[in-house]
Amino acid sequence: MVRRVTLTLGIVLLVVLAGCVGVGGADTESPTAELTPTESVAAETTAAETTVTETTTTNQSASVTAVSGDVTVEVVEVVDGDTIKVVMPNGSRETIRLLGVDTPEVYGENTPDEFKGVPETDAGKRCLGEAGEDASAYAKSRLSGRTVELRYDEKAGKRGYYGRILAYVVVDGSEFNYDLITEGHARFYDSSFEERERYDRAEREARERGVGLWSCATEGGDGGSDNDDGLSVTVAADAPGNDNNNLNEETVTLENGGDSAIDLSGWTISDAAGSTYTFADGTELASGATITLHTGSGSDTATDVYWERAGAVWNNGGDTVTVRDATGSEVLTHTYD
């Protein structure tokens, strides 16, 4: 009897052992050993530094380098006022979209209703186009070839709609995004980010002062005027920084929206105080063309002429532009506040 029990137990043990051997077979996954706390941190860090795949608006998948934490980078190109290209610490090139701001378009047509108070007119669009050029020039003067710091915002996320990195750009200890707003080179871009209230407030203050692009707004600056023959005039009275130190950014622009060329020989442009510029003989404004009068110095061309003044002419707080033909007859007048 005892021998039969022993034999039965032996058989049971063999069956159990056989089942255990089957657990590690080809049809199942081998169990993974638990990581120590140190190994877990290392694994998470490695995962955070790997390449991730993100779908762009063209529904194509592109491999982009993940980013985390603030980094110091080299600016290799200023695309326009709110977009730059940089070399990251790992040597990769990235496009950076400045967070919370939107400067007027340089490479496309502007939509005035995106900028509060700017009129939906050709003069309004033209004024915004010039403001976009000013914003780009400002960005190039501050950022080109510089070493800057990128700071990220948890609310906004690391990448935007087009896969570009979203960041605050800090140069010489100053937050460049915010400077764009306060100098009137950009509007506050209403989206989710930590600084939105501060940026919104800064835009309101810039609008009230009529600085930068806000000189294009009828509520605080120049929206332009035109006459029945299609000739229009716009003024950029408030140059970036001190007007007297940036005379060539203080401008008056004439645009010929008529069907025929205009001979500007002997025509004049005057301010309310009587300061007068006279166009040289042979100056012609073709149909559809513009000519810009800069307060400062330079070489005249078909599109740009220079007053050669030593100081600013146009009052930032308001002035009147009067255009007269060679006989002294008033052709066009425009008053801005």
Whether residue 150 contacts residue 73, with contact meaning beta carbons closer than 8 Å, is answered with: yes
Q: Is 65 helix (H, G, I), strand (E, B) or coil?
A: strand
Six-digit token string for 53 = 């795949």
Whether 164 is catalytic: yes
Whether 205 is catalytic: no
Q: If residue 267 lies in a helix (H) or strand (E), which one and from where to where? A: none
Q: If residue 297 lies in a helix (H) or strand (E), which one and from where to where? A: none
Six-digit token string for 337 = 């506040």
Whether 324 is catalytic: no
Q: Which amino acid is at 104?
A: P
Residue in 126, 142, 159, 164 annotated catalytic: 164
Q: Using a CB cutoff of 8 Å and minimum separation of 24, what contacts does 70-76 make?
A: 70/149, 70/150, 70/151, 70/152, 71/149, 71/150, 72/147, 72/148, 72/149, 72/150, 73/147, 73/148, 73/149, 73/150, 74/145, 74/146, 74/147, 75/143, 75/144, 75/145, 75/146, 75/147, 75/148, 76/145
Residue in 94, 105, 130, 195 annotated catalytic: 105
Phi and psi at residue 17, in whole multiples of 5°? -60, -40
List the catalytic residues. 97, 105, 164
